[in-house]
Amino acid sequence: MTDKIKIGVLFGGRSGEHEVSLLSARSVLSVLDPEKYRVTQIGITHDGRWFSGQNVLEAFEHNNLEGLFPVTLRPEPGHKTLYAIRSSAAGEQIEPHAEIDVYFPVLHGTFGEDGTLQGLFEMADVAYVGAGVLGSSVGMDKALFKDVMRAHQIPVVDSIILNRSQLEKGSDAILQQIEQMSAYPIFVKPANLGSSVGISKCRNRSDLFEGLMDAARFDRRILVEHGVNAREIEISVLGNDDPIVSVPGEILPSREFYSYEAKYIDDNSGLLIPAPLSQEQVAHVQQIALEAYKAADCSGMARVDFLLDKDTNEFYLNEINTIPGFTKISMYPKLWEASGMPYPKLVDRLVELAFERKADRDRIERTYRRAA
């Protein structure tokens, strides 16, 4: 038992992708080898409370948290302990619940994939799977990510970013500005969310107004993009300073675009693995994926999504997902399986990369003494 890696798997979260996270966690937990890992499940509610106990995932799936208890991670170095919060006549007290060697956040969207949780892990000085604070935050904000890509001469579609407060002051000028940028169709997205939550394809001004208002429900920053008649190509990336790439795959959405419903409700969307591309196209898009991964300072893993313009045959980098979906239908693990790395081995490798990244952080000197 002492040789097992003690892993804390986090899921749920304060995000519109809460339910998707539960689906991903179900898959990750199913492949963690009990001979290698001692697993502690940690569920995070919609309002941000952490819970642990027995069968946490099932409790969250059934929205019945009776029997679970709140837990917390102390944001200071030197503690590998997850603490239980107990209530008594004297008030709330904390007591050790589980020792954790490495955390595996299976959290999509805000407060999980955007650098905030990673900041807590850094403060606590613990090992964790996936990108750090910078890579997570850059990858999460689609508008900032596009600016970083443009700075590295990586092609992205034309876009503008708006704040919710601009909409609240008046929409006519904003609608005119958007229409000057692009002809219809136009895509509207919350800047900081994934799983296609809050995304609209707009064909006219009425659609555009509704799309802006819908996106504003999920984020204060709204990304508006020129629509492309495109194929959707995705590549999985794995590694820290020397990442590797998978074969590319292609999404065949059951609807007009890969919406939330097409991903998780219809169950009719298709995946082509490997994607039907020429050798030159494969090499080209894999190289762009690596460049984007490094430019955003990613580590551990990411799925890099592209648009392949059907009219011009040009690739455009769409976005990067630093905690990609891990459900049974998700492209990230499927692409690695097609590349020769089965799901259990992929999870093992992600844990190894987490320890590797932690060892690299431990080399950093935290004090400075000038020479006499």
- pLDDT by residue for the chain (372 residues), tens only, comes to 468 999 999 999 998 889 999 999 999 999 999 999 999 999 999 999 999 999 999 999 999 999 999 999 999 998 889 999 998 777 889 999 999 999 999 999 889 999 999 999 999 999 999 999 999 999 999 999 999 999 999 999 999 999 999 888 877 889 999 999 989 999 999 988 765 678 999 999 999 999 999 999 988 999 999 999 999 999 999 999 999 999 999 999 865 654 444 444 455 678 999 999 999 999 999 999 999 999 999 999 999 999 999 999 999 999 999 999 998 789 999 999 999 999 999 999 999 999 999 999 999 988 887 766
Reading the block at residue 343, the tokens are: 């799901």
The first and second tokens of residue 152, run together, are 């590295």
Residue 319: which residues within 8 A CB-CB, separation 6 or more? 139, 142, 145, 194, 305
Q: List, by residue range, all CATH 3.30.470.20 domains of the chain.
A: 139-153+229-360
What is 139-153+229-360's CATH number? 3.30.470.20
CATH class of 5-128: alpha beta
Specify the pLDDT at position 259: 44
| Model pTM score | 0.89
Q: Which residues of the chain does CATH 3.40.50.20 include?
A: 5-128
Under CATH, which number does the domain 159-226 receive?
Answer: 3.30.1490.20
Measuring CA to CA, which residue among 152, 157, 120 is closest to residue 138? 152
Positions of CATH 3.30.1490.20 in the chain: 159-226
Contact 85, 69 (CB under 8 A): yes
How far is residue 213's CA from residue 351's CA, in Å, rounded to a whole number? 40
Which DSSP letter does residue 183 get? P
Distance between CA atoms of 139 and 258, rounded to whole angstroms? Answer: 19
- Residues 188-234 pLDDT 10s: 999 887 656 789 999 999 999 999 999 999 889 999 999 999 999 99
User: What does the pLDDT read at residue 194?
Assistant: 61
